[in-house]
Structure 1
């Protein structure tokens, strides 16, 4: 009986499918466009409505570039950006992200550290929209869609979780008033939470929702410092007085023990759900052993 023949992929196809090369190319493209998006945001800094429109357009372009790369180079459906669950998963992510930040502020209010002394006009909430869209979409496409996913293909979920979290946190040292403590905290609390959001659904929408809502609520509502960047007033006029361990100091609330506790706990819960759903990927050497 004749055995079915399999067509061996061409050398060019095998080269383009090489995981480290895909990570380098896709990551480089997304990093470049993230820089372009930041430049566009700076250009429209005094025009918040135009900045919001520009950020939305750039975010859409980032998604399109990512999807085109996956379809043309990886030659597979873009399941991590499936449109069917977009509204539900993005909505849940937005609610949880805003809820985690609000819960952290409520703890500080109960301790007398965060005090509301007034309110700005509602228009002060607009500038944060563009910032949140740009950072939320591009950073999730880059760090979870490219870095976490492709490293996971090679070394499995747990090693990828460590690698992507460390890279994500340490790159925040490039921010103006960044601190090592803040970068380490982000590596753990945000790195785990955002990667777990991807693992539990195998899509990016939940993580994008977390990221966008946290950044927006932080700046647009509570006038907080976002990851060591210059503070921008939002809706609430606060006075924040207390130890850096609780306020986060110059880095912002991400560097506080309160946010660390809430976000890390949420991330661990999602990791447990990922394990229970069988969404943990083994490293390639264990997959080969199982297959044989």
Structure 2
């Protein structure tokens, strides 16, 4: 069951996110439509007393993740069009990320509402809020400290760093919350009854890590993926431990600083 769930999640993210840039357009459309039809039909069929009823929450998670990611993919450039921006500036990259992430999150939340799924089932709840915020803020601060030690960042100067700060925050908060919701919030509570807590963390962490195999910003992709797997396990554990995604989202946002700040250091704010 662990292998099946991990492979299914990886295939979904691979064909709707990771390998989209190298897929033909017809394959992109076909994969998304196929996933939506298959998992939508399975969710509808697997009602009370149906042999597949125990998998119904899983079908919901798969369907919802595909729908949310598809909304972000097809309509996520609304912010760039609205403000006349391009992704050649820090402002444009940050606005593009917010635009895409907001549609993905809205897609997940609306689908959950229509399917009578409450926010708690997505790990959007208070939980152990003090613990989550404490760990999230401390780890985010540690990531910020490490980021500021990078040569490219240290060479920026205070004035440019301050000018970039709003766009950096917009990017990392948007991405951190969205990815924690889509990759973990949707799945943790739905996988656990089938494979237990620790295998759930490992399964979602593997799917998340493998979804990043096509990154172009890491010179050592294998090393990057190993670090990412460790971070992902930490985010999953923190979400389970606190019963909510707030701490993980903050930690995730902090970790994204290590990537995006050096990228932004070569760009102007506008």
Provide TM-score, normalisation by structure 1.
0.57
**Superposition deviation, residue 28 in structure 1:** 0.9
SS at 1:126 equivalent: helix
Instruction: Please report the RMSD computed on the Cα atoms of aligned residues, expressed in angstroms.
Output: 3.8
Number of residue equivalences: 210
Contact persistence 1:59–1:133 (CA under 8 A) = no
**Superposition deviation, residue 165 in structure 1:** 1.0
Deviations 1:105-128 (A, max 9, x none): 58x68xxx8993450522123332
Distance in 2 (alpha carbons) for counterparts of 1:49 and 1:145 = 28
**Superposition deviation, residue 208 in structure 1:** 1.3
**Superposition deviation, residue 100 in structure 1:** 2.5
* Bigger share in helix: 2
Deviations 1:5-53 (A, max 9, x none): xxxxx95644787133223201212332443576567764256557656
1:127 maps to which residue?
Answer: 167
Query: Which of 143, 161, 165 is 2:201 aligned to?
Result: 161
Matches within 5 A, 1:1-292: 13-14=47-48, 18-36=56-74, 39=77, 44-46=86-88, 52=94, 55-56=97-98, 58-73=100-115, 75-79=116-120, 80-82=123-125, 91-92=133-134, 95-104=137-146, 116-117=154-155, 119=157, 120-121=159-160, 122-178=162-218, 179-188=221-230, 190-216=231-257, 219-220=260-261, 223=262, 231-233=263-265
Distance in 2 (alpha carbons) for counterparts of 1:172 and 1:131 = 17
Distance in 2 (alpha carbons) for counterparts of 1:233 and 1:44 = 17
Contact persistence 1:37–1:134 (CA under 8 A) = no
Query: Relative to structure 1, is the Cα distance of residues 177 and 63 closer, same or farther in structure 2, using a 3 angstrom cutoff?
Result: closer
Distance in 1 (alpha carbons) for counterparts of 2:190 and 2:168 = 31
Query: Whose Rg is larger?
Result: 1
Distance in 2 (alpha carbons) for counterparts of 1:60 and 1:171 = 20
Query: Relative to structure 1, is the Cα distance of residues 232 and 22 closer, same or farther in structure 2, using a 3 angstrom cutoff?
Result: same
Provide TM-score, normalisation by structure 2.
0.61
Query: Relative to structure 1, is the Cα distance of residues 117 and 57 closer, same or farther in structure 2, using a 3 angstrom cutoff?
Result: closer
Contact persistence 2:146–2:258 (CA under 8 A) = no
Deviations 1:171-198 (A, max 9, x none): 211111441221122112x111210221
**Superposition deviation, residue 212 in structure 1:** 1.8
Unpaired stretches in structure 2, ≥5 consecutive residues: 1-43
Query: Relative to structure 1, is the Cα distance of residues 127 and 177 closer, same or farther in structure 2, using a 3 angstrom cutoff?
Result: same
Contact persistence 2:143–2:258 (CA under 8 A) = yes
**Superposition deviation, residue 101 in structure 1:** 1.0
Unpaired stretches in structure 1, ≥5 consecutive residues: 1-9, 224-230, 236-292
Distance in 2 (alpha carbons) for counterparts of 1:202 and 1:133 = 20
1:282 maps to which residue?
Answer: none
SS at 2:118 equivalent: coil
